[in-house]
Structure 1
Amino acid sequence: MTQFVLVPGAWLGAWAWDEVVPELRAAGHGAHPVTLSGLAERSGEQAGQQTHVDDIVRVVREGDLREVVLVGHSYAGIPVGQAAERIGGRLARVVFVDSNVPADGESFVSASPEYGPQVAAAIEAAGGVWLPPGAADFEGQGLSGEQIARIVDGATPHPGRTLTEPAVLARPLGDLPATYLKCLLDGPGLFPQVAALVEQGRWQLVELDTGHWPMISRPRELARALLDAARTP
Structure 2
Amino acid sequence: MSTFVLIPGAGSSAWYWHLVTPLLEAHGHDTVAVELPYGDESADFGDYVKATLDAIGERRDLVVVGHSLGAYTATLVCAELPVDLLVLVAAMVPRPGESAGDWWANTGHSSPEPFDEVEVFLHDVSEELVAEGWDHVGEQAGRPFEDPWPLTEWPDVPTRFLLCRDDRFFTAEFQRRVVRERLRIEPDEMGGGHLPALARPAELADRLLRYVGELDAHRDDWRIAQTLGE
User: Fold-level match, TM-score > 0.5?
Assistant: yes
User: How many aligned residue pairs are there?
Assistant: 205
Contact 2:11 2:38 in 1 (8 A): no
Residues 134 and 197 of structure 1: CA distance in aligned 2, closer, same or farther (over 3 Å): closer
- Of 46, 70, 74 in structure 2, the residue corresponding to residue 76 of structure 1 is 70
How far residue 134 of structure 1 moved from its aligned partner, in angstroms, is 4.1
SS for the counterpart of 2:23 is helix
- Of 179, 183, 204 in structure 1, the residue corresponding to residue 160 of structure 2 is 179
Residues 139 and 105 of structure 1: CA distance in aligned 2, closer, same or farther (over 3 Å): same
| 1:91 maps onto 2:83 in alignment | yes
Residues 110 and 191 of structure 1: CA distance in aligned 2, closer, same or farther (over 3 Å): farther
Contact 1:79 1:167 in 2 (8 A): no
- Distance, in Å, in 1 between the alignment partners of 2:188 and 2:206 is 12
How far residue 214 of structure 1 moved from its aligned partner, in angstroms, is 0.5
1:195 maps to which residue? 180
What are the Cα deviations for residues 121-168 of structure 1, in whole angstroms up to 9, with x where unaligned?
xxxxxxxxxxxx74344354x222223333334211111101211111
1:49 maps to which residue? 45
- Distance, in Å, in 1 between the alignment partners of 2:132 and 2:146 is 28
What are the Cα deviations for residues 160-215 of structure 1, in whole angstroms up to 9, with x where unaligned?
10121111114335x420110111101222164422245x35xx632111111000
| 209-218 or 154-163, which deviates more | 154-163
In structure 1, stretches of 5+ residues that fail to align are 119-132
Q: TM-score when scaled to structure 2?
A: 0.80
How far residue 115 of structure 1 moved from its aligned partner, in angstroms, is 5.5
Hey, which bits of structure 1, 4+ residues long, moved more than 6 A? none
| 1:214 maps onto 2:196 in alignment | yes
Q: TM-score when scaled to structure 1?
A: 0.79
- Distance, in Å, in 1 between the alignment partners of 2:141 and 2:10 is 9
- Distance, in Å, in 1 between the alignment partners of 2:14 and 2:31 is 11
How far residue 99 of structure 1 moved from its aligned partner, in angstroms, is 0.3
How far residue 67 of structure 1 moved from its aligned partner, in angstroms, is 0.9
How far residue 46 of structure 1 moved from its aligned partner, in angstroms, is 3.3
- Distance, in Å, in 2 between the alignment partners of 1:109 and 1:192 is 19
Match runs of 1:135-146 below 5 Å: 135-140=118-123, 142-146=124-128
In structure 2, stretches of 5+ residues that fail to align are 217-230
Match runs of 1:13-32 below 5 Å: 13-32=13-32
- Distance, in Å, in 2 between the alignment partners of 1:76 and 1:181 is 14
